[in-house]
Structure 1
Amino acid sequence: MGSVFSKPSRRAFIAGTGAATLMTTGVFGAATRKQSSGKLIDEQSFARLEEIGDGVWAVLSTPVNANGGFETTTLSNAGLIMGDDKVVVYDAFFRPEGAAWLSEHAKKLTGRYPTHVIVSHLHADHCGGLAGFQRGSEGPEIIMTEVTRDLIFETYGKGEPRENEIFGRPPIRLLGPTQILHDESKPVSLDLGGRSISIDPLAGHTPSDLAVHISDADIIFASDLVWEGYFPNYVNAVPSKLVPSVKHLFKNGDNLMVSGHGGIAKAKDLDIYLELLEAIDKGAKEAHALGLTAEEGGAIFISPEATKNWIRFNPQYPTIAYQAWYRELGNNQ
């Protein structure tokens, strides 16, 4: 099989970024989630590191503290996967400090610093911390799709300040890919030595999303294609592709799903998440057919009972979801 990756002309690009545009002022519907999913390795105010399989660890971000304040070191979940030859990190958090924390744990747990980092999609809470994996001139290979690379340039490349920012921070170095995935038509296998992972190109949360399935374990890192306990963000969504992508990930109900935000659960136990997505789809299409604006429709959206208390990073997330559908259906004025 020929390589589907390519090396870009520069090892990295540097851009000043504000915080991710998806993270805006909101009211949270629940306290920080604390349930354990595996063997606890470390717990900080911003995240827990848990062993969830043989040579597999999950970082579960805990962005909301008991006082309702925000812990922005990680913001999103992530994964650490050990092979005989390679140590792979899946997603890179919001701040470099989060990546540096995981990098040091990788060294303790596996004897090596991460050799590869897979970036699931463009949002800064999943790629903003990439510089934290660098150790001077040393650092891992960074894998992302060509579409994600281009969207990162487009979204953050100018380094302009962002207003109404509650996740504020000084500009950071945002590193670009050293390996670019061009073909998004099929999964790509990456040999780690003694085990392999399947990198699955999908879409829905954004125009280009990557999930990772470990070959010898029933574990999938799904990033923001799957949310558990948090209302999903649709700011860059292609909603017509989201439910099909989620159903693809859920086809084996015994797979353990590591969400992008929230907890970990088997696919067969995440029906309430699909119910929420389908309720959004139905509500947006009905509102559009009635001639309502996305704002009018989103304002009257009612979450299914089982998800009514899910945390919202932004109280306008239903409206943002409707806006994503309206981009596909055609805007109502």
Structure 2
Amino acid sequence: MAQRWIGMRATTLRILCLCLLCITSIATVNAADDPLLKAIQVAPHTYFVRGLPEMGNSQNQNFISNAGFVITPKGVVVVDALGSPVLAKKLIAQIKKITDQKVVAVIVTHYHADHIYGLQEFKKIGAKIYAQNQGQSYLSSETAKQRLIASRVDFAPWVNSSTKLIAADIWIDQSYALNIGGVDFKISRVGPAHAPEDLMIYVPSEGVLFAGDLVFRGRIPFVGNADSKGWLSALDQIERINPQIVIPGHGNYSTHPAEDINFTRDYLKYLRVSMSEAAINLDPFDEAYQHADWSEYDGMPLFKAANRMNAYNVYLSIQSE
């Protein structure tokens, strides 16, 4: 009997330990369940939420990119939808705290996962989606399907089987003039640049440009399969607009756009300079990467995660130019 009681006690203790572990895990999840998604006002009627300078994961709910919104007399226009449906719900809740106006439009700067997985929540509340027409190619691609499959694992439970890829209601071919409540949104097609389907959105009355991932601030840019030549040209277009404020796709908003445009430009140029000779001569990438001087960038967030991949993608793209 004594041995049985000791065995029962040991089993009870194991169960209690497991319960404590579960409670600890839940507490950890709950702590991450509410990222610092707070609307920051940057102009009289313009706000944005700032993503974390991290790789997307389950803990941060894929909150790694920015989204913004402009309040007009006839509704709210949102730019980008964040990286999971739960984040989009939180963004909608933030908007409701500030205004009673309904969200009537969402403009997608490009179809990368961290900017679009929240779109379905805006469709549910009746918003019209605007995006560049090359986004149709992405949505029908195997890349998009496989990316979503992987995201349902990597960002679970926030991205799951209920998360869908959402097409635009209005596909934009070239420039597009949207007017909501007397407020002009000048939507320009740029690219291929960071992505084949880049858009930038300028709101003249606010002096604000939503640059998407054409501009990064305070972290290493993500190059991926970008067209670095087209990207550099897009940065020149932003400078010609000469906005007072730039809201980038990642990082804090900029009140000195020229400086932050130059950071992204200088990084892209250095990737091209450091990789060009090896790419053209078909020399090994590893040697070119090892000989490059990365000291200006190696202390920045996401350097280890992104820089080598960025350099390799530029190395390959130069070979195909």
TM-score, scaled to structure 2: 0.78
The counterpart of 1:194, out of the listed 178, 182, 189, is 182
The unaligned stretches of length 5 or more in structure 2 are 1-33
Q: Which position in structure 1 is the counterpart of 2:48? A: 58
Q: Which position in structure 2 is the counterpart of 1:93? A: 82
- How many pairs are equivalent? 280
| Structure 1 range deviating more: 314-323 or 167-176 | 314-323
Offset, 1:276: 1.2
- The SS at the match of 2:305 is coil
Offset, 1:295: 4.5
Q: Which position in structure 2 is the counterpart of 1:151? A: 138
- The SS at the match of 1:104 is helix
RMSD: 2.8
Contact 2:38 2:94 in 1 (8 A): no
Contact 1:238 1:325 in 2 (8 A): no
Between the two structures, name the one with larger relative contact order (CA 8 Å, sep ≥ 6): 1
- The SS at the match of 1:47 is coil
The counterpart of 2:122, out of the listed 122, 125, 133, is 133
Offset, 1:242: 0.7
TM-score, scaled to structure 1: 0.75
Offset, 1:123: 0.7
Structure holding more helix per residue: 2
Offset, 1:287: 2.3
Distance across 2 between alignment mates of 1:190 and 1:304: 44
- The SS at the match of 1:274 is helix
Runs (4+) of structure 1 exceeding 6 A deviation are none
Distance across 2 between alignment mates of 1:232 and 1:312: 8
In structure 2, relative to structure 1, the CA distance for the partners of 1:312 and 1:158 (3 Å cut) is closer
Distance across 1 between alignment mates of 2:277 and 2:244: 34
Contact 2:53 2:302 in 1 (8 A): no
The one-letter amino acid of 1:327's match is S
The unaligned stretches of length 5 or more in structure 1 are 1-43
Q: Which position in structure 1 is the counterpart of 2:91? A: 102
Distance across 2 between alignment mates of 1:146 and 1:129: 19
Q: Which position in structure 2 is the counterpart of 1:33? A: none
The counterpart of 1:282, out of the listed 273, 277, 289, is 273
Contact 1:100 1:132 in 2 (8 A): yes
Offset, 1:205: 0.2
Q: Which position in structure 1 is the counterpart of 2:218? A: 229
- The SS at the match of 2:202 is strand
- The SS at the match of 2:134 is helix
State the percentage of identical aligned residues: 22
The one-letter amino acid of 2:68's match is G
Offset, 1:296: 4.1
In structure 2, relative to structure 1, the CA distance for the partners of 1:274 and 1:304 (3 Å cut) is farther
